[in-house]
Amino acid sequence: MTGDTTAPALGPDASRPGGFRRRWGWICAGAAGVTLIAGAVTVAVLNSTVFTPEAVVERYLDAVREGDGATAFGLAQARFADAEAPGENPDGLSTALLDGEALVSTLTGVEDLQVTEVSADESDLAGTDEADDADAVVRVSFTVDGAKHHSDFGVNRTGRDWLVFPRWSMQEVALQEVVLEPSGLPENAAADAPVAEVNEVPVPLTGRDAESQSRFAVLPPAVVTAEYEGSFVASVSPGRAVVENTGAAAGEDAEQAHRLALTLGATEALTAEIQRQISEHLTFCTDQKVLQPTGCPMRYWTSNRVTPDSIEWSIPEDPKIYLEHENDASQIRIAGVDAVARITLEEIDLVTGEARTVEVDLPFELQAELTVTPERVVVSPDLS
């Protein structure tokens, strides 16, 4: 049995030997070229966005935000002054702010944080060994309460990953020192063992451990705040230190330490307690049914006979108490107390024998000594 068959149409190259193979080769070469171009573009993009000097500093800041002290410490190659071995703390600074929630809190109050590369010449490291040795300088800019701040970090290229991606590492970052300096503590404050909070870390203000626990190692940049809240003495406002990277290590130069001033003053409760104790003393005076109450500033003189049971003392208005201090709890004193005592009594005229009721207002001044601690107030009236 026979039949007609139709051969498939052939392209112009098909009739030539190897035409199909050549055509397939061009397709493969084109695909490889596109792949190479795409790969080159990908590498360029990653090198400009991920594998950059700024990226390693960003990772460092992320570790601080997460409270991962070990990672932040490692990325920063952090060092103490005079340390001969990694992690050595020869100056005995408190490390309470280098990990966990306390580390996270060091970025509380830091706003508008930006990470950019700057030239070594315009950086704070200009003219230092760090700048000379750095392959790049990264600036961390930020604001605190609207004021602008920045910290500069040297960064070095330390190799490549997968042959095409540059590896960057931070130069050694000097841990900064923050020193808590309270002022205005009353003379006898140690009796109450007052404890302040530095970024929510308890810190004694007096006693044997106060000095050693009041010096902190801090990873820059940071904001360190201090507060104290006693019943009668408290911080006038939170103390605050903005910590930038000065380049000097903690303990390396005392002049480079960041001062965290904490001024202590009287609370409103102190005035109320002084008023209460003075009123209590005056009540002791007004309870006495005599013309000259013992240990009291009020006196009444008369030449007439007085019926003792008729004597009634009272203080019709709250005394005016004058305190002297300038937001400094250690200098508070009672400058004086002005008050009015009212006496009501029955007098009998010695000549006529006539009895009459007398009411007299007698202004007086009271002097008193004041002893204040954060949790105790003692008013000692002058009884002379």
151 with 57, same domain: the answer is yes
Q: Work out the angle at residue 375's Cα, subtended by the Cα atoms of residues 370 and 380, and round it to the nearest 5 degrees.
A: 20
pLDDT digits (tens, 9 = 90+) for 211-247: 888 999 999 999 999 999 999 999 999 999 999 986 6
| Backbone φ, ψ for residue 4 (5° rounding) | -85, 140
256 with 361, same domain: the answer is no
Q: 18-27, 165-174, 349-358: which range is least confident on average?
A: 18-27
Residue 18 lies in a domain: no
Instruction: HSE, CB side, 13 Å, CA atoms: give it for residue 288.
Output: 16
122 with 219, same domain: the answer is yes
CATH number of domain containing 298:
3.10.450
Residue 229's CB: how many other CB atoms inside 10 A?
A: 13
- Residue 286 DSSP label: H
CA quadruple 215, 218, 222, 227: dihedral sign: negative
Tell me the three-class secondary structure of 160-213, residue by residue. EECCCEEEEEECCCECEEEEEEEECCCCCHHHHCCEEEECCEEEECCCCCHHHH
Residue 91 lies in a domain: yes
* Contact between 320 and 337 (Cβ < 8 Å): yes
Q: Using the 3D structure, point to which of 209, 243, 266 is the last residue of a domain.
A: 266
Q: Using the 3D structure, point to which of 266, 284, 302 is the last residue of a domain.
A: 266
Within 197-331, where are the H helices?
Answer: 210-213, 268-286
pLDDT digits (tens, 9 = 90+) for 91-106: 778 999 999 999 999 9
145 with 216, same domain: the answer is yes
30 with 168, same domain: the answer is yes
What are 64's two structure tokens? 């601080």
Task: Give residue 38's pLDDT band: very low, low, confident or very high (50, 70, 90).
Answer: very low
Q: Is the pLDDT of residue 33 over 70?
A: no
Residue 245's CB: how many other CB atoms inside 10 A?
A: 22
As a whole number of Å, the end-to-end CA separation of the chain is 149
341 with 363, same domain: the answer is yes
Q: How many domains does the chain have?
A: 2
| Cα–Cα distance, 373 to 380 (Å, whole number) | 14
272 with 257, same domain: the answer is no
The pLDDT score that the predictor gives to residue 161 is 56
308: Cβ–Cβ under 8 A, 6 or more apart, which residues? 289, 290
Residue 70 lies in a domain: yes
pLDDT digits (tens, 9 = 90+) for 138-186: 999 999 999 999 999 999 998 675 555 688 999 989 889 999 999 999 9
319 with 253, same domain: the answer is no
What value does the mean pLDDT of the chain take?
Answer: 84
119 with 29, same domain: the answer is yes
188 with 313, same domain: the answer is no
The pLDDT score that the predictor gives to residue 103 is 98
Residue 133 lies in a domain: yes
The pLDDT score that the predictor gives to residue 24 is 57
pLDDT digits (tens, 9 = 90+) for 283-315: 999 999 999 999 999 999 999 999 999 999 999
Residue 252 lies in a domain: yes
Q: 163 lies in which domain range? A: 24-266
* Contact between 151 and 245 (Cβ < 8 Å): yes
Residue 16 lies in a domain: no
Residue 6 lies in a domain: no
Q: Work out the angle at residue 245's Cα, subtended by the Cα atoms of residues 92 and 95, and round it to the nearest 5 degrees.
A: 25
44 with 187, same domain: the answer is yes
318 with 348, same domain: the answer is yes
- Alpha-carbon distances, residue 343 vs 88, 312, 317, 338, 360 (angstroms): 75, 6, 13, 17, 5
What is the pTM for the complete model shown?
Answer: 0.76
pLDDT digits (tens, 9 = 90+) for 9-18: 444 444 455 5
Q: Work out the angle at residue 124's Cα, subtended by the Cα atoms of residues 172 and 222, and round it to the nearest 5 degrees.
A: 65
Q: 45-54, 234-243, 269-278: which range is least confident on average?
A: 45-54
| Cα–Cα distance, 21 to 258 (Å, whole number) | 75
